[in-house]
Amino acid sequence: MTDTTTHVPPKYAPPKVWKWESESDGRFAKINRPIAGATHEKERPVGENPLQLYSLATPNGVKVTVMLEELLALGKKDAEYDAWLINIGEGDQFGSGFVAVNPNSKIPALLDRSTTPPTRVFESGAILVYLAEKFDAFLPKEPSARAECLSWLFWQVGSTPYLGGGFGHFYAYAPEKYEYPINRFTMEVKRQLDVLDRNLAAREFLSGDDYTIADMATSPWYGGLVLHNLYDAAEFLDVASYTNVVRWASAIEKRPAVQRGRRVNRVWGPEEKRVPERHSASDLD
C-alpha cells in the first residue's frame, strides 16, 4: 500500500518499550491481548457429524457456512456439519478446547473427524481450500484456472484486513475519529473496490465463468459493503458507483445456499434469521 503521509502526528511519542495497558478503551478492548494461548480451560463440544465447525456469523465465519451449504446443495452428504457458536465478545476463542483447534484464537475453525487422526483446519482461506479439495468442488483442477481462483482467494485474505482492521476499525469502532488513518484506509478500500469492479466488468465471477471459493470468500466482505451498509459506510465510500461489484454481490446473495449459510451461528438481527447452532438441515428449514 502506498504511504501518503505528509506530516507526523503531534501528540503521541511512543515509549522505548511498549507496555500493555489492559485498561485501554475501544470496542475490542476486552478481547484484545498481546499474548497468544488459552486464558481458561473449556472443553470443546462435539456432535455427531463428520465436520465440526466452531464459528460465528461474521463475514469470515459466513465464508465457511456458505461453502458447507453449497456442498450439501450439490448432494455431498459427507459435508454434514455441526456448527457450534463461539461468542468472541465473551472470549470463547480463548478457551483451551477452541485454542487446540485454532492456536490463533479466531473464528472460524474446523475439525474433520472423518480422518484418522482428526484434521484441524484454521484460517478461513485454508478451510475453503481443504473443503474444496476434499469434496472436489468450487476449485478448478486445470492448473491455470486453479491459479486464477487461488490468486483471488489469496487476494481476499491479504486485502480484507485493510477493510476490517483498518477502515472499519477507524471509521466505525475507534472511540475517536482520526483523519489520518481514515484517509489512509479509505484510499485503500476504494482502490480494492475498483480492483474488484474492473475484474468483474469482464467476468461473471471473480475467476471467470464459474462461482468458486474465491467468490465465497470475497462476497461476505465486499458484498456486505455494497449491499448492506457494512460499517455504516455505504454513502461515505460511494459504494453504488462500483456497479459490477453490486451486480456480482446481488447475484451471489440470491443463491439458496448463501441464504442458508448466512443464518448459521448468527445471534443478532431479526429473530427468524438467527440460528445460533446448526446440527442438521432441519435447523435451517
Ligand X SMILES: N[C@@H](CCC(=O)N[C@@H](CS)C(=O)NCC(=O)O)C(=O)O
**Residue with Cβ nearer ligand X (100 or 157):** 157
Segment lying near ligand X (by CB under 6 A), choices 103-111, 141-149, 167-175, 273-281? 103-111
| By CB under 6 A, residue 284 contacts ligand X | no
What is the rounded CA–CA span in Å between residue 253 and residue 183?
30
What is the total count of residues that contact ligand X (CB under 6 A)?
13
Least distance from C-beta 11 to ligand X, angstroms? 27
What is the rounded CA–CA span in Å between residue 202 and residue 223?
18
| By CB under 6 A, residue 107 contacts ligand X | yes
Least distance from C-beta 109 to ligand X, angstroms? 8
| By CB under 6 A, residue 121 contacts ligand X | no
What is the rounded CA–CA span in Å between residue 57 and residue 258?
12
What is the rounded CA–CA span in Å between residue 223 and residue 1?
22
| By CB under 6 A, residue 212 contacts ligand X | no
Torsion sign (Cα): 40, 61, 158, 142: positive
Residues 71-90 within binding reach of ligand X (CB under 6 A)? 88
Exactly one of 58, 65, 192, 265 binds ligand X (CB under 6 A); that residue is 58
**Residue with Cβ nearer ligand X (121 or 193):** 121
| By CB under 6 A, residue 60 contacts ligand X | yes
Q: Confirm if 255 and 197 have CB atoms less than 8 A apart.
A: no
Query: Which residues lie closer than 8 Å to 164 by C-beta, 6 or more apart?
Result: 59, 221
**CA nearest neighbour of 138 among 68, 89, 59, 44:** 68
| By CB under 6 A, residue 65 contacts ligand X | no
Residue 174, judged by CB atoms within 10 A of its CB (0-12, 13-18, 19+), counts as middle
**Residue with Cβ nearer ligand X (74 or 157):** 157
| By CB under 6 A, residue 55 contacts ligand X | no
**Residue with grid cell 443463491, as numbered in its chain:** 255
List contacts with ligand X (CB under 6 A): 31, 58, 60, 88, 93, 105-108, 123-125, 157
